[in-house]
Structure 1
Amino acid sequence: MTSLFDPIKLGDISLANRFVMAPLTRSRAVEGLKPGPLTVEYYRQRATAGLIIAEATQISPMGQGYINTPGIYSAEQVSAWREVTGAVHAAGGKIVLQLWHVGRISHTSFLPGGVAPVSSTNRAANAKTFTTEGYSDVSTPRALRDAELPALVEDYRKAARNAIDAGFDGVEVHAANTYLLEQFLRDSVNDRSGPYGGSIQNRARLLLEVMQAVTKEIGAARTGIRLSPMTTFNDTAVDSDPQALYNYVVEQIAPLGLAYLHVIEGETGGSRLPEGAPVKFDYAALRSRFPGAFIVNNGFDGAEGQAVLEAGKADAIAFGRPFIANPDLVRRVREAKPLNPLRADGLYGGGAEGYTDYPALTA
């Protein structure tokens, strides 16, 4: 019987257990959009997770959409992330970096020269982001030209190489939560014509080019991907035929030999369909199409995660907010100890409060 505490190998990455710390935006990058000393300590505290997926990290200056989120495109950022990975490895953990471009979920104040965000479309999202002026409507994007997309793919390739140079065990390509790559995937957003619009095959083209470039650069066995077929995060409608779209995507990436596929089940943020509810998406169909490790995420507690593993529905479980409040989540679940409650303070931005000051078990 598979247990959360059993070791597993994801491609070339050997894990001590099947607890995965999900990527969690915390908005604490310091000057130069680098991780600072508090971030080093934050991840070090959580190194007993089998795998840490570090917070979404922009691949270029154009990829930023929220205040104080880190990057992986400058030499200074690479050096700062090396402090994080060194601390995690010294504590016995494994850590990969999530590669991020927000696309239209951005604001001109974040972008070089105050330019417009870029996307598959020139239609603005009905969404907000937090800027130095407080919550603001995201800015109207411009549609990327087909001729610009090879440079975007190159940004992903360089970011993957930078992540490995920074000491990460691998990368996760962020193709979820309605950010740039999913803005190309979904026909609810992608209104283009030409080779990157229209059919499922065309809308998936950019993501597949990114995956090919990243795996060629650092190896498929150090590369994962995150998908969210049914989320409406950032007020974005699902695709008109999500099952066909995501089945196709998984069928196309399967031959690459990726380390893992990480899937958000239901809405981003923990809302899953209850037992007996009408089935809106067949996640098992994705698992059946993917030969590598299958990680599921969305509001699981330890008992639910264990049940999913025992039922053979996944190979590992990603936990998000429980890891924020419980740096020793693995031990607490193993010993059936109560969890620290999540506090509202310090979720996004600030100092140690709500970040590195959650207590671990002492006895």
Structure 2
Amino acid sequence: MLFTHSLNDDSYLINQFIGENSNTRSDKYGGSIKNRARFAIEVTKAIVEEIGAERTGFRISPGTPLNGINEGEHGPEVYLHLVKELAQYNLAYLHVMHLGNETLLREIRNIWPNPLLVNRAGRALQDLSVDIDNGLADMAPVEVWSLANPDLVERLKKGFPLNEADRKTLYSGNGNEGYTDYPTMKELQSQQQ
């Protein structure tokens, strides 16, 4: 899978090409909207040729400031151009980390033909299906909830409280800590007996 951003504090190379202040190139990879999206498109093409479109997904995070990268006033136009181009590759999905530009999200939904995942930062569990219900998304990622709750589906079905993710251990490199050490519902129930 191909990602342009992550929720951690690192800025990824593709994002740096999209960013107006991080991409000061004057060649075919900088300046114009088309040029700022070119690197992402070429990387996608290479990956699709290597492993196939059905095994390739792309994640964008329009308007998400990572390490001071600013997409500039034309950032939404870069993303719309990029999404239109990516649509031609028939990728498995597009994952949008969405922080509030509703107009941009609606435009992306209108031009993206394949599964669209929309992840709204800080959304409440009870709002998980709002974008699906409103036709803006096909899927709602459950990322950190599933990490902290290895039995997430069962918990949701039974209305069992969710474990809170320990954000200090995410991407820490400390082995199992924060990844495979969260208790299951059954383990918690047996501890209470």
Q: 2:113 aligns with which of 279, 291, 303?
A: 291
Amino acid at match of 2:146: F
Deviation at 1:174, TM superposition (A): 1.4
Shift of 1:323: 2.2
Deviation for aligned residue 1:208:
0.8
**Structure 1 unmatched runs, 5+:** 1-171, 267-272, 274-278
Greater RCO (Cα-Cα under 8 Å, separation 6 or more): 1
- Cα RMSD (Å) of the superposition? 1.9
Distance across 2 between alignment mates of 1:193 and 1:257 = 30
Relative to total residues, which structure has the larger helix share, 1 or 2? 2
Task: Look up the match of 1:165.
Answer: none
TM superposition shift of 1:333:
1.8
Question: Aligned partner of 2:3: which letter?
Answer: H
Query: 2: distance between equivalents of 1:354 and 1:175?
Result: 24
Aligned counterpart, 1:89: none
Unaligned residue ranges in structure 2 (runs of 5+): none
Query: Shift of residue 282 of structure 1?
Result: 1.9
Q: How far apart in 2 are the matches of 1:235 and 1:281?
A: 24
Deviation at 1:193, TM superposition (A): 0.5
Confirm whether residue 342 of structure 1 aligns to residue 165 of structure 2. yes
Q: CA deviation at 1:334?
A: 2.3
Corresponding residue for residue 126 of structure 2: 303
Percent identity, aligned pairs only?
38
Cα distance in 2 for residues equivalent to 1:192 and 1:290? 29
**Structure 2 equivalent of residue 174 of structure 1:** 3
Partner of 2:155: 332
CA contact (8 A) 2:17 2:37 kept: yes
The DSSP-based 3-state class of the residue aligned with 1:316 is coil
Contact 1:326–1:340, Cα closer than 8 Å, also in 2: yes
User: May I ask how many residue pairs the two structures share in their alignment?
Assistant: 181
Deviation at 1:358, TM superposition (A): 0.9
The alpha carbon displacement at 1:187 in A equals: 1.5
The one-letter code sitting in structure 2 at the alignment partner of 1:286 is I
Counterpart of 1:358, as a letter, is Y
Question: Quick check: 1:243–1:281 contact (8 Å CA) kept in 2?
Answer: no
What whole-Å deviation, never above 9, does each CA across 1:150-192 have from its counterpart, x for those lacking one? xxxxxxxxxxxxxxxxxxxxxx211225410111112121001
Preserved contact between residue 29 and residue 36 of structure 2 (Cα < 8 Å): yes
Structure 1 equivalent of residue 181 of structure 2: 357
Taking structure 1 as the reference length, what is the TM-score of the superposition?
0.47
What are the within-5 Å matches in structure 2 for residues 228-243 of structure 1?
228-243=61-76
Point out the structure with the larger strand share: 1
Query: Which of 48, 59, 71 is the matching residue for 1:226?
Result: 59
1:258 aligned onto 2:80: no
Distance 1:176 1:352 in 2: 24
TM-score, structure 2 normalization: 0.85
Distance 1:217 1:288, change over 3 A: same
Q: Deviations over 1:110-147 (max 9, x none)?
A: xxxxxxxxxxxxxxxxxxxxxxxxxxxxxxxxxxxxxx
- Please say which of residues 176-185 and 191-200 is displaced more in the overlay: 176-185
- Contact 1:261–1:293 (CA<8 Å) still a contact in 2? yes
Instruction: Return closer, same or farther for 1:352/1:281 CA change in 2, 3 Å cut-off.
Output: same
**Is 1:187 aligned to residue 20 of structure 2?**
yes
Q: Quick one: which amino acid aligns to residue 318 of structure 1?
A: P
Change (3 A) 1:293 1:345: closer
